[in-house]
Structures are given as structure tokens and as C-alpha cells.
């Protein structure tokens, strides 16, 4: 098994951020396009080469403004475009997984929403293949109950489209009123060779996720023990307000539990 850890975002400067990731003994990082894809292909290639030279695994987070279940054709096409732009940059970054929030239920039923999002993913995959980009779509489990993306919905997308996925443990916890069963989750994921994941502390209400917070050591330890018990190959991207600090904290917890990182 292999565990990879790192922050969501590089802290502004991608090159300096990657150096910091390496200095802290971390080995993963997510490039955040959450408010728009503002990196050129040329810069993406340089950042990707830098990450490779440092042994850092990259992933990409597409913009937040995505709704593959929008009733408005203009918004639906704009959502697809943002994901495709993220895929293009991801190709040059050598980032395999392109993480995104699939969409809202809106006025459609859960079943109708699933079909609409599934078909949109299939269309995007055709474009990825046509362009020869070496990336995989990774729809993410979401934290609000009125938003598409519980664990079963995401796994059904994987089954129907052969896409990848991103499991956000904080989101699943928020969707379930603050409780999470890692044994149940990893049982459902046992068929997969690798898991792309997000983790952080989370504030929530009856509606689900409210905000991310600093990750408590006890929360990290609960997850780490389950990963080691089930021998999971996993990449964990931390999304707390202190992504670097909490990633390092996570590394120390794993080391205390006996895991040795290959840095």
C-alpha cells in the first residue's frame, strides 16, 4: 500500500509551493482552478515538469461554477467548457485526476439528475479522447444534502461511465450529520486499486456542509487507522484553512502509527 499526502493549492506561486511541499516531506498537491482556469498550457507544462522532478503527484480541481444538471443550456455548456479547460491544463501538468463537483438536483428527481450528469460526463470523455489528453474525470462526493454526490451516486457514475472519483471524507461526514463509518466506505471501495481523496475538519448543519475547519488530530487518527487496517492505496489532499500544516500533521500521525513514507 502507498499513502500520498499534500495540500489543496500551492499558496500562490506554484513553483515555490511545490518546493514547500517537498521540504515538508509531502508527495502530493492539488492545483486549484476553483475560481477559473487562469494558467496557460505553457506554464502548466513547466509546473508539471517541476512536480515530476520532485516526485510530487498532481491532481486538478476544476472551477466551482459547474452544474452538469443545469436546465439552462448556456450554463450547461459553460460548465462542460470549464471542466474541459481543466482537463487540458491537467494534461500538461501530468495530473491524472480532474476533480469537480458534478451538479445540483434542482427541480429534477435524483434519478433524472443522475442520467443528465452521466450523459454530460460521457460527452466530456469523448472530447478528452478526441484531444488525446491523458486525464481522468473524478467527480467528487459533495457535502450538502441538496447537491448531487453522495457515495452511491458517485460510484454509480464510475460504474456507468468508467470515470474515476474523489472521495471527500469531510463531505460525507457532513451529509451524514457528523458521523462516518470508514469500514463501510472502504468495503464499498475495495475493488479500486487507488483512491483519490479530500480530507479536513468540517462544520455542518442539518443541511450538510457549512465550512471547512482545521483538522483535529483525533479525526486524522481515526481515518489513518482505517486506511492502515484496510491497506488502502490513497492520495489525501487536505482542504482545511491550513492545508500545508494539516497535511504535515497527517503525515506525523501516520508515522506515529508505524507507516513509513517513500519520499
pLDDT at 262: 79
Q: Quick check: 43 pLDDT over 80?
A: yes
Residue 127 domain-assigned?
yes
pLDDT average, residue stretch 19-40: 96
Residue 144 domain-assigned?
yes
Residue 176 domain-assigned?
yes
d(Cα 215, Cα 68) in Å, to the nearest integer?
31
d(Cα 201, Cα 193) in Å, to the nearest integer?
26
Strands 208-213 vs 201-205: parallel, antiparallel or unpaired: antiparallel
Residue 263 domain-assigned?
no
d(Cα 98, Cα 33) in Å, to the nearest integer?
10
pLDDT at 263: 63
Range of the domain at 200: 3-256
pLDDT at 226: 98
Per-residue confidence at 180, pLDDT binned at 50, 70, 90?
A: very high
Residue 262 domain-assigned?
no
In degrees and rounded to multiples of 5, residue 109 shows phi and psi of -70, 165
Q: Render pLDDT for 130-146 as a digit per residue (tens, 0 to 9).
A: 999 999 999 999 999 99
What's the structural domain count of the chain?
A: 1
3-state secondary structure of 158: helix
pLDDT average, residue stretch 215-223: 97
pLDDT at 12: 86
- Reported pTM: 0.96
Residue 17 domain-assigned?
yes
pLDDT at 154: 98
d(Cα 132, Cα 208) in Å, to the nearest integer?
38
pLDDT at 6: 98
Strands (E), the chain: 3-7, 28-32, 57-61, 97-100, 136-139, 166-168, 195-199, 201-205, 208-213, 234-238
pLDDT average, residue stretch 91-112: 96
Long-range contacts of 188-191 (CB under 8 A, 24+ apart): 188/151, 188/155, 189/232, 190/230
Q: What is the CATH number of the domain that holds 190?
A: 3.20.20.150
pLDDT average, residue stretch 85-114: 97
pLDDT average, residue stretch 189-196: 96
Residue 261 domain-assigned?
no
Q: Render pLDDT for 220-250 as a digit per residue (tens, 0 to 9).
A: 999 999 999 999 999 999 999 999 999 999 9
Residue 161 domain-assigned?
yes
Amino acid at each position: 500500500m502507498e499513502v500520498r499526502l499534500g495540500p489543496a493549492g500551492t499558496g500562490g506561486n506554484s513553483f515555490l509551493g511545490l518546493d514547500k511541499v517537498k521540504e515538508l516531506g509531502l508527495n502530493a498537491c492539488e492545483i486549484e482552478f476553483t475560481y477559473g482556469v487562469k494558467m496557460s498550457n505553457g506554464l502548466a507544462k513547466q509546473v508539471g515538469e517541476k512536480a515530476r522532478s520532485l516526485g510530487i503527484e498532481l491532481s486538478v480541481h476544476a472551477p466551482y461554477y459547474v452544474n452538469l444538471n443545469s436546465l439552462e443550456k448556456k450554463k450547461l455548456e459553460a460548465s462542460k467548457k470549464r471542466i474541459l479547460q481543466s482537463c487540458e491544463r491537467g494534461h500538461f501538468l501530468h495530473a491524472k485526476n480532474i476533480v469537480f463537483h458534478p451538479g445540483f438536483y434542482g427541480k429534477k428527481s435524483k434519478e433524472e439528475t443522475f442520467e443528465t450528469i452521466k450523459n454530460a460526463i460521457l460527452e466530456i470523455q469523448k472530447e478528452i479522447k478526441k484531444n488525446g489528453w491523458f486525464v481522468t474525470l473524478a467527480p467528487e462526493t459533495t457535502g450538502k444534502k441538496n447537491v448531487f454526490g453522495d457515495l452511491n451516486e458517485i460510484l454509480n457514475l464510475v460504474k456507468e461511465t468508467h470515470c474515476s472519483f474523489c472521495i471527500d471524507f469531510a463531505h460525507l461526514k457532513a451529509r451524514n450529520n457528523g458521523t462516518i463509518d470508514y469500514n463501510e466506505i472502504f468495503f464499498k471501495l475495495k475493488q479500486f486499486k487507488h483512491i483519490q481523496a479530500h480530507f479536513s475538519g468540517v462544520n455542518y448543519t442539518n443541511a450538510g456542509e457549512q465550512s471547512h475547519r482545521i483538522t483535529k488530530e483525533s479525526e486524522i487518527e481515526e481515518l489513518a487507522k482505517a486506511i492502515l487496517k484496510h491497506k488502502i492505496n490513497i492520495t489525501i489532499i487536505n482542504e482545511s484553512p491550513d492545508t500545508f500544516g494539516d497535511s504535515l500533521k497527517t503525515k506525523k500521525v501516520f508515522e506515529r502509527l508505524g507507516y513509513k513514507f517513500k519520499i
